[in-house]
Amino acid sequence: MEKILVTGATGQVGSELTIALRNNYGPENVFAADKRPALNELSPSGPFCLLDVRDASAINQVVDANNIDAIFHLAALLSAVAEQKPQQAWDVNMNGLLNVLETCRAHRCALFFPSSIAAFGPETPSMNTPQDTIQRPSTLYGITKVSGELLCDYYHHRFGVDARGLRYPGLISSKTLPGGGTTDYAVDIFYAALKSQHYDCFLRADTQLDMMYMPDAIDAAIHLMTADSKQLKHRNAFNVTAMSFTPQQLAAEIQKHIPEFTIAYIVDPLRQAIADSWPRHMNDSAAKAEWGWQAQFDLSAMVTDMLKKITLT
Ligand code: VAH
């Protein structure tokens, strides 16, 4: 990778990934793009352009003009928003991906595609979820994720596109707030704990989900994209996880730092139904075996680092 384009660059993953890529590859070689304007350090630290991934010619123009050879395609609507706007989510998540894959085919670019635990459904084994198993997601977001995995596989086998991807769990960042996801509680809770020492959680206390701290998520994406292609059997949809916890367990870990912190549960039926359709804990042995995946942050280390790094504005 020499000239990189990041779509969805102002989002929860994109904003931190862009900075990490710029640190690794040089700011002038990492082009950030998003439908909405850049905030804070994203724009001053390197090139930024407004880009709607539903506009195929605009993607082609950015890639052609800047000799892009790798695209990290993060532009998408997340699970809860996608349930409220399913047609728009299909358009952005699927037509946007198809446009990016067509550009990769024409310009011989490598592609990173973020899949998700959402690509699994209620029939999927929920504990120790295998790398290869039944995938019948019941959410629009999950349908776009499993379809995206298959579309990336097709472009690899049919056109030779070097597409690679990860099934991310819920992601927790100290730098960027999430937008419209079901796992957002695991970020919101930290701001509430610091601001008011209380959090009203929109998921049930016992809702166990896979999670990962953003530094691990960024390292996993870059590590996968620089791995030996010949070793990648599963290339477009590696299960990766770092920890699996419930809101109750996360609250207890925060209370070790903020003893007066309290939590209540005011369940949002939409996001609870989404969370209930996802697995509890994935098996990520394929990622470990094929490209050496290894998380660095567990629950205790993540909570300690989050409380140290979060700044209340
Ligand atoms: C969401 N944060 O909640 C995303 C993610 C596994 C969850 O895909 O929609």
The per-residue pLDDT string of the chain (313 residues; one tens digit each, 9 = 90 and over) reads 999 999 999 999 999 999 999 999 999 999 999 999 887 777 778 999 999 999 999 999 999 999 999 999 999 999 999 999 999 999 999 999 999 999 999 999 999 999 999 999 999 999 999 999 999 999 999 999 999 999 999 999 999 999 999 999 999 999 888 788 999 999 999 999 999 999 999 999 999 999 999 999 999 999 999 999 999 999 989 999 999 999 999 999 999 999 999 999 999 999 999 999 999 999 999 999 999 999 999 999 999 999 999 977 6
Number of other CB atoms surrounding residue 230 within 10 Å: 6
* Alpha helices (H) in 108-226, listed in sequence order: 140-159, 185-195, 214-225
Q: Which two tokens stand for residue 20?
A: 């990490």
pTM (2 d.p.): 0.96
**Domain residue ranges of the chain, discontinuous segments joined by +:** 4-168+214-239, 171-210+242-282+296-309
**Ramachandran category for residue 292: left, alpha or beta (phi over 0 → left; psi -120 to 50 → alpha):** left
Specify the CATH number of the domain 4-168+214-239.
3.40.50.720
pLDDT given at position 124: 97
Is the beta carbon of 173 within 6 A of some atom in ligand 1? Answer: no
CA of 204 from ligand 1 middle (Å) equals 17
Amino acid at site 92: V
Specify the CATH number of the domain 171-210+242-282+296-309.
3.90.25
Return phi, psi of residue 143, to 5°. -65, -40
Active site residue 168: no
Strand partners of residue 161: none
Is the beta carbon of 118 within 6 A of some atom in ligand 1? Answer: yes
pLDDT given at position 311: 78
Is the beta carbon of 116 within 6 A of some atom in ligand 1? Answer: yes
The answer to whether 47 and 106 have CB atoms below 8 angstroms apart is: no
In whole numbers, what is the pLDDT of the chain averaged over residues? 96
Give the pLDDT confidence of 205-264 residue by residue, as tens digits.
999 999 999 999 999 999 999 999 999 999 989 999 999 999 999 999 999 999 999 999
Asked whether this chain's domains 4-168+214-239 and 171-210+242-282+296-309 adopt the same fold, the reply is no
Burial classification of residue 126, based on how many CB atoms lie within 10 Å of its CB (0-12 exposed, 13-18 middle, 19 or more buried): middle
pLDDT given at position 313: 67
DSSP letter, residue 202:
S
